[in-house]
Structure 1
Amino acid sequence: MIVDDEAPILVATDLTKSFGGTEVVKRANLTVKRGSIHALIGPNGAGKSTMFGMLSGFLLPTKGRIEFEGVDITHERPESVARRGLVRSFQISAVFGHLSVHENVRVALQRHAGIASQFWRSDAALARLDARADELLDMVNLTAYRDVLAVNLSYGRKRILEIATTFAVAPKLLLLDEPMAGMGHEDIDRVVSLIRHIAAGRTILMVEHNLSVVRDLCDSITVLQRGEVIAEGDYATVSSDARVREAYIGTEEED
């Protein structure tokens, strides 16, 4: 398939999701430009996680359409969406604590290579993945922790390891669900630098509560409130919008 580099990589049109008759997301539209860092923000309960669930195939929209690289993926399952290159990193760190940092990345590479469950493979056969695993660790500045058990990593470094395992599947569009959640300032600075680094030649869509991070990192921002898109544009545009300021009164400090 020939990809138009000028065309948006992801387009969601009139996305709606209802639970028990209640619309959590209401006719939301989202366009993500290829090569951009795009933030999806909003107060708690705005529908951000539900949007991510629909975009990644974990939730079926009640109405609406999702196109990835011009292909309708609205009804595709998560594994099919991921194979296309739209990959989600979850808010809660998901690494194997009893495996080393290097082994965690190699497991992710095994999955991508289709040999995750082929336990009869010899060490020699799996060793071909070691070089790529080490490249990924170098990319995220975890080489010094290569042989450390993941359970012994700080929370921030576990999140960074999770990003490395996500990149093992070679995403075209990476969905990051609150990558800074629960982090101190030092870890936040480290992850911001990492996202800037890995964004080169890739596209990132992130849910993030830390507005200073969004301001400094993101090219475009879409703001949700009560399931509806109320503003979109760069930080200067959305932050000057009266509806956005009203939505964040009393929440910016809390977030």
Structure 2
Amino acid sequence: MAHNDLILETSRLTKSFNGFTAVSDVNLRVRRGTIHALIGPNGAGKTTCFNLLTKFLTPTSGQIFFDGREITRAAPASIARRGVIRSFQISAVFPHLSPVENVCIGLQRSLGVSFRFWMSSAVLGQLRERALSLLDEVGLAEFADVKTAELSYGHKRALEIAATLAMDPVLMLLDEPTQGMGHEDVDRVTALIKKVSAGRTILMVEHNMKIISSISDTITVLQRGEILAEGAYADVSANPRVREAYMGTESGSLEQ
């Protein structure tokens, strides 16, 4: 694989907390333009790994490269400016603002301006127009002006994706995008992730195997902070070590 195919790469990424190694010697390679899933049993180190990649934690050792440049010691804001954007569960949106206002805030962040209420009406009009088209992209156009707090759980998650898209991510990090959803919402958000992946790279932590098998190009399986297996779903799900890690038996299945 040519190095310019890689958008995100880690080299021996390690994080210890008081002698406990949560992430150990992880060499992760995320190819440009793919949907890459990070999976593993509880306590496998997925969240710690995500927090290292988004600069919420500093690695104990190892390196992180984004687009060929080392970002191991970069500040969270500086990697966000380069287009590494993490979608937060619910907390990223302001419940008392409308969806269109929430997306406008994301758009302004991407412009690098603080939220200005005294912008000219022309600029505000352009922002609103762009925000409405993003809401339309995630199926929320009809809810543009309601209070965000009144949206259903699935619609709030879709709004979160719209607010993330507003920041124009090159690499989008999704943390369990379908957690706590009913089937209908899961299907809608899965289709949405597939749709917004066009021209972008997505790295996601997700528990739902059905989703992973349907939209992931590559899957990395973590166990006890180390990479256990990596590859396409068919290969990973057939791997006896992966089955054992998930089910405690070699005949165990990844189906959920």
Scaled to the shorter chain, the TM-score interval is: over 0.9
Q: Give matches, 1:119-134, under 5 Å.
A: 119-134=117-132
Q: What is residue 109 of structure 1 aligned with on the other side?
A: 107
- Residue by residue, what CA displacement relative to the aligned partner does 1:162-185 show, whole Å, maximum 9, x if unpaired? 010001110000000000100000
Question: What do residues 62-96 of structure 1 show as CA deviations (whole Å, max 9, x unaligned)?
Answer: 11111000000001111111111111112344211
Conserved? CA contact 2:89–2:160, under 8 Å: no
Amino acid aligned to 1:63: S
Conserved? CA contact 2:228–2:241, under 8 Å: yes
The answer on 1:97 being equivalent to 2:83 is no
TM-score normalised to the size of structure 2? 0.93
Alpha-carbon contact 1:175-1:206 (below 8 Å) kept: yes
RMSD (Å) for aligned C-alpha atoms: 1.9
The 3-state SS of whatever aligns with 1:127 is helix
Residue 222 (str. 1) matches residue 191 (str. 2): no
* 1:242 aligned residue: 240
Say whether the 8 Å CA contact 1:93–1:159 is kept in structure 2.
Answer: no
C-alpha distance after superposition, 1:77-136 (max 9, x if no partner): 111111111111123442111111111101111222223243433444322211111110
Kindly state the Cα deviation for residue 39 of structure 1 after the two structures are TM-superposed: 0.2
Aligned to 2:50: 52
- Which amino acid is the alignment partner of residue 199 of structure 1? S
1:145 to 143, 146, 153: 143
**Residue 163 of structure 2: which of 165, 177, 200 is its match?**
165
Q: Which runs of 5 or more residues in structure 1 are unaligned?
A: none
Q: Which amino acid aligns with 1:137?
A: L
TM-score, scaled to structure 1: 0.94
Q: Percent same amino acid at aligned positions?
A: 57
The counterpart of 1:179, out of the listed 177, 180, 185, is 177
Please say which of residues 6-15 and 228-237 is displaced more in the overlay.
6-15
Structure 1 distance, partners of 2:87, 2:153, is 15
Q: How many angstroms apart in 2 are the aligned matches of 1:78 and 1:127?
A: 30
SS of 1:9's equivalent in the other structure is: strand
Q: How many residues align structurally?
A: 252
Counterpart among 188, 191, 195 of residue 197 in structure 1: 195
1:14 pairs with one of 12, 17, 31: 12
Is the contact between residue 237 and residue 253 of structure 2 (CA under 8 Å) also seen in structure 1? no
